Amino acid sequence: MARQARLSRLKLLGTVGEPINPAAWDWYNEHIGGKRCPITDTWWQTETGGVMISPLPGITPTKPGSATHPLYGVDAAIVDKNGTELAANESGLLVIRKPWPGMLRGIYGDEARFRKQYWSEIPGVYFTGDGARRDEDGYFWITGRVDDVIKVAGHRLGTAEVESSIVSHPRVAEAAVIGYPDEITGEAIAAFVTLRGGEKPTDALKDELKQHVSKTLGAIARPKDIRFTESLPKTRSGKIMRRLLREIATKGHVDGDVTTLEDFTILAKLSSDEG
């Protein structure tokens, strides 16, 4: 009852960092917001100096998993690697085409890096490093960092879209996917899955989840490997450390920097469950 009383005082919810999948958005809306609190699913970067894409609370109609529209004065677009704007529902690169209030003006002591990092990939625009798509209503859907893209048999798949497909299964609480080398397809997909309370990991469930992804995204997105885990390695701010999962999938252990990891016991458990 005390918990309900505290939550009843909430008026506005926010989400930032990792793209939120629709299933998590629905849970957040129902169990935390009581289906009465507007949710501001915001997209921004430290470099942008503030929020760039976000609904206006109580004004912008929301869609679970979408950051909705760019804020006033922000000219965001989805383009291909040549800078050509893409049609609705085509996945591409998220860029900002015009200056905006609060934008970064350089990197202290390293102007060359500033130009290379943000302005050389697609000349004339600020490249965010994120992939995204815009739907037929003009809503922006962030699919994650482009360096988190998995290329399976020539097809580019964003980690966020595959993870959203897995989490849409009613027995799954959370998931993270990575790509690892495969002799036939170039890269294959490995999924690390946390089940809802009371659910038991079985080989039958692995097959069921693979079929679920094939049905929702297509056969090309079907994970080759699924590993169940009680939790995922995250930073203290809640970002999934896919780099560590990639090392576990390819080498069975982690050699890289783990100083930002919140819970070190997760790595030991994942490594002991390797294979």
Is the domain of 32 the same as that of 120?
yes
Residues 259 and 136 in one domain: no
Q: Which two tokens stand for residue 52?
A: 């760039």
Q: What is the pLDDT of residues 18-70, one digit of tens each?
A: 788 888 899 999 999 999 999 999 999 988 999 999 999 989 999 999 999 99
Does residue 195 sit in the same domain as residue 72?
no
Query: DSSP letter at 263?
Result: -
Spatial contact of 79 and 85, defined as CB atoms under 8 Å apart: yes
Say yes or no: 105 and 17 in one domain: yes
Domain-terminating residue out of 126, 145, 164: 145
CATH assignment of the domain containing 265:
3.30.300.30
% of the chain with per-residue pLDDT over 90: 49
Same domain, 120 and 169: no
**Tokens at 73, concatenated:** 């004065």
Q: Which of 127, 145, 163 is the last residue of a domain?
A: 145
110 and 32 belong to one structural domain? yes
Phi, psi of 220 (to 5 degrees): -65, -25
Tens digits of residue pLDDT in 67-87: 999 999 999 999 998 999 999
| pTM flag (> 0.75) | no
Domain end, chosen from 145, 164, 186, is at 145
List the domain range (segments joined by +) for residue 192: 153-272
Please list, in sequence order, all residues whose beta carbon lies within 8 angstroms of the beta carbon of residue 238, skipping any fewer than 6 positions away: 17, 18
Which CATH number goes with the domain that contains 34? 3.40.50.12780
* Beta carbons of 233 and 254 less than 8 angstroms apart: no
For residue 182, the tally of other CB atoms under 10 A from its CB is 13
